[in-house]
Structure 1
Amino acid sequence: MQRASRKSLVCLATALVLSLAGCGQELNSTYGVRRPSGSVNGTEVLGQLFAEAGHDVSSWGWLSPRLAKKADCIVWFANDDRPPADDVCAWLDDWLYAAPGRTLIYVGRDYDAATAYWKQVRQGTQGEEYKRLSRRLADAQNERLAHTTGLKPTVDCPWFEIDRTQPRRDVRNLQGRTRWLDGIDPKKVEIELGARIIPPSDARSLLRDGKDRLVSRVQYDDSQMILVANGSFLLNLPLVNHEHRKLAAKLVDEIGATPQQVVFLDVPSGNPGILDADPQQTHLGVLDWLKHPTLGMVVLHLAALATLVIFCRAPIFGLPKKAAAAASADFGQHVAALGSLLERAGDAEYARGRIAAYEALARREPEVETKGATAT
């Protein structure tokens, strides 16, 4: 990846986080989706990494015939602490076997960037600000705890087993495939491990910390499924960390250099729906736009503004009126022009002299004409 592209990703990831730091703003913590952007738990930056590598990136909300035909790589950040349903596993298994060179990337749910965010912004504060941020941190932790309370310690699905019996910890060491370790400083990563994803025995470990696997690969003939323990180095906020961006780039490299159609499964919660046919796209008419609660108000305001402009710019209709014709010879205009010239001269005494001379000449002219007539 070019250095300029890497720099743009750094700016994007940093901007996503800094945009959330304003006082009084609600933190966007929507999990595992590319759109809307700006969430600390979003996947927009990872999607940009795929795009920078030359792949075509899009989002999809369900398992459907169009997805099965279009996608070369499916990325799914599961927004459920329970494993995928059996029918979802079966659909994706069939998709992997249907064509060579396909990749499914499954990322476990056991991480929430909102708690990490409040821990970071709380650092260096004190007094009332520290207390306020501590309350926000506690709220985020309690919300996360509410989603995991009551879950079974161990549970499995056709793909893997989830083990919640081990304590949560930070990753301190990294082992695995050489290409995953090259250029990575384990001391600078901030990866967390809570629930462990235990893949099948024939899975190949790509990245691990001791016995705990972080990234594993399961072969499906000429296709593959990549299992990632959680999103603690792949979501928007964690990707501010430089080492995490390098690890994410190595994940992108696993699908190959050939440009592919990479589709992110943007599922709000639970399992994606399975459709036998794709819903038909409908084109919205003017009335449909007006029915939308927000867009309708915008359209109405624009219509009112357009009406006002029309009334201001349109001609006035009715019987024509004759405008008063200007006189072709107006002595008053001559006087005004003469006054303007005298003013431009800038000499009041001279102007008064010229006016007096004119008045004297005007008084003598009738007498001259009478004398001329008598002589004749």
Structure 2
Amino acid sequence: MPRTNHLLVLLLVMLGLVLAGCGKQSGGLPTTYGKRSGNAGASVNGTKVLSEMFRSAGYWVKSYSVVSPSLLKNDVIVWVPESFEGPNYEFQQVILNWLAEKDGRTFIYIGRDFDASVQYWEEAIQKVPPEQKLDTMRQRSLAIQDFDELRNFIAEEEDYYFFKTERDAPRRVAKSLRGPWAKDIDASKTNIVLRTRILPATTDALYEGYDTLDSDEPPVYAVEDIDVLLSSRGEAIVTRMGSDYSDSQLILVTNGSFLLNLPLVNPEHRKLAAKLVNQCDRDSYSPETVAFLETGDYVDIRRADDTTDATSGWEWLSKWPLNLVGLQMAWWMIVLCFALYPIFGRPKQLPAAETSDFKKHIDSVGDLLEATDDHAYAQLRLQQYQQIMKGDAVYRRSKTRRGEGK
């Protein structure tokens, strides 16, 4: 199947989530956040569609759950954390060093402050029959309640070096769009929801306290240029922090309200996602690999490489009890194959069985006589044979009548 057709099928499936199944309990709606593989890839909060857009553009795409040397070999890293927290100090140093290590690299951060399940139930209210509308409204309220409970753990204000966050900004929808990415985008048809305000750092803030003579200082010069690619009423939605010298860049996206699976059903959102994919293709460099970093409450940074951090789709074989039962079954299947289908050397042609061997006839008659378990009868049959061969009269075995003795 061509890649473009494969992407179209994915989008139709996501559209079916909105048009069909409305009014079901929220327990049946997959809402896992920030995953692209396995069952979580079909979640309304998944990144399967975005990853397929990268794949359709010619990139090799993998998923990682930890920061390891194998992850840092990729040209593009898309970080979609499930946590509302940004990068800690250690991860900030890893990002800067990775960007400075090789030209043409791109690190994409997608903020967490969005839940597509709320959008799902909002759209479902307009499509369900009247008798299901009350239950759908209840599901929407539950989704909002669950998401607000998660947001309560966000710090009111936080500084993550590359950007600062303000939690208590009111919920708002971007009605107008500005910036290079706003070209050919109909803002009235988009549905970009903004919650936590992300304020990109300024150049002065990046270099504050920076000692150019200290060789141990992180390479801040990798993100010294700051450009707002998409904004609404002066608020940055997508920001590029990069260097014209190395052509490496860090892209900050406020949240996934136009990049997750369900929002990408919207054609205008797909245009914005395509601009994000194209932004990774630099003028002087052609990246080939994209890594989706899928983390939970914290970022696990490993100095030694871990060959199991990249998910291939066969991880379920390493989970209990399949890891125990599966290995035993595989071992027995191998033994069975060797037992049923062994061929050692060239096959030989066995000699054909002879049908004219009189000895076999004698053996068969002997077996039949032995099966009767009657010695007298066997002797009589032998005498009859001898009489026939000598030409004498044939004697028959007398039958014992009922009531008479033998």
2:32 to 27, 30, 38: 30
Percent identity, aligned pairs only? 35
Q: Find 1:85's aligned residue among 88, 96, 118.
A: 88
Within the alignment, does 1:190 sit opposite 2:170 as a pair? no
State how far apart, in whole Å, the 1-side matches of 2:132 and 2:172 are: 28
Question: Shift in Å at residue 294 of structure 1?
Answer: 4.7
Query: Which residue is equivalent to 1:49?
Result: 53
Determine if contact 1:17/1:237 at 8 Å carries over to the other structure.
yes
CA distance in 2, matches of 1:226, 1:77: 12
Counterparts of 2:319 and 2:261 in 1: how far apart (Å)? 35
Does the aligned pair in 2 maintain the 1:83–1:162 contact within 8 Å? no
Please give the secondary structure, in 2, of the residue aligned with 1:206: strand
Which residue does the alignment assign to 1:64?
Answer: 68
Deviation at 1:238, TM superposition (A): 0.3
Counterpart AA for 2:196? A
Mapped to 2, the partners of 1:51 and 1:17 lie a distance apart of: 21
Shift of 1:205: 0.4
1:110 counterpart letter in structure 2 = D
Residue 104 of structure 1 is matched in structure 2 by 107
CA distance in 2, matches of 1:231, 1:164: 16
Q: CA deviation digits over 1:84-138, x for unaligned, max 9?
A: 2111111111111111111000011110101111111222335541222222212
Distance 1:106 1:172 in 2: 23
Out of 230, 235, 244, the position equivalent to 1:212 is 235
Q: What does residue 319 of structure 1 align with?
A: none
Amino acid at match of 2:69: P
Letter in 2 for 1:57: V
Give the equivalent residue in structure 1 for 2:302. 275
Are 2:191 and 1:166 equivalent residues in the alignment? Answer: no
How far does the alpha carbon of each residue in 1:130-180 deviate from its partner, in whole angstroms, 9 at most, with x for none?
222222212211111111114332211111000123211111001101xx2
Question: Which residue identity lines up with residue 128 of structure 2 in the other structure?
Answer: T
Q: CA deviation at 1:12?
A: 0.8
Deviates more, 1:203-212 or 1:82-91: 82-91
2 CA distance for matches of 1:256 and 1:189? 25
1:13-59 CA deviation, whole Å, 9 max, x = no partner? 22135258444661111111112220110111000111111111111
Match of 2:79 in 1: 76
* Aligned position for 2:403: none
Q: How does 1:108-187 map to 2 (within 5 A)?
A: 108-177=111-180, 180-187=181-188
**Aligned pair partner of 1:262 in 290, 309, 330:** 290
2:100 aligned counterpart, secondary structure: helix
2:281 partner amino acid = G
- Shift in alpha-carbon separation, 1:134–1:96, aligned structure 2, 3 A: same
Pair 66,304 (structure 1): closer, same or farther in 2 beyond 3 Å: closer
Q: CA deviation at 1:182?
A: 2.8
Mark the CA change 1:210 to 1:66 in structure 2 (over 3 Å): closer, same or farther: same
Q: Which residue of 2 aligns with 1:13?
A: 11
Relative to structure 1, the CA distance from residue 127 to residue 88 in structure 2 (aligned partners, 3 Å threshold; closer, same or farther) is same
Say which of 215, 237, 262 aligns to 1:237: 262
- What is the rounded CA distance, in whole Å, between the counterparts of 1:294 and 1:118 in structure 2? 36
Q: 1:9 to 1:135 in 2, by over 3 A?
A: same
Q: Which runs of 5 or more structure 1 residues have no equivalent in the other structure?
A: 283-287, 308-321, 325-376
CA, structure 1 residues 200+129, in 2 after alignment: closer, same or farther (shift >3 Å)? same
The size of the alignment, in residue pairs, is 304
- CA drift of 1:280 comes to 4.8
Q: Cα 1:280–1:56, aligned 2, differ >3 Å: closer, same or farther?
A: closer
What's the TM-score once normalised by structure 2's chain length? 0.67
User: In 1, Cα distance between the equivalents of 2:68 and 2:184?
Assistant: 39
Aligned residue type for 1:214: I
Distance 1:50 1:306, change over 3 A: closer
AA in 1 matched with 2:11:
A
1-structure distance, mates of 2:4, 2:232: 27
Gaps of 5+ in 2: 204-225, 310-315, 336-362, 366-406
Distance 1:82 1:280, change over 3 A: closer
Q: What per-residue deviation string (whole Å, max 9, x for no partner) do you get for residues 308-363 of structure 1?
A: xxxxxxxxxxxxxx999xxxxxxxxxxxxxxxxxxxxxxxxxxxxxxxxxxxxxxx
CA distance in 2, matches of 1:83, 1:291: 30
The structure-2 alpha-carbon separation of the partners of 1:291 and 1:201, relative to structure 1 and needing over 3 Å to count, comes to closer
The one-letter amino acid of 2:54's match is: F
For the residues of structure 2 that align with 1:109 and 1:291, how far apart are their CA atoms? 28
Counterpart Cα distance in 2 of 1:323 and 1:249? 85
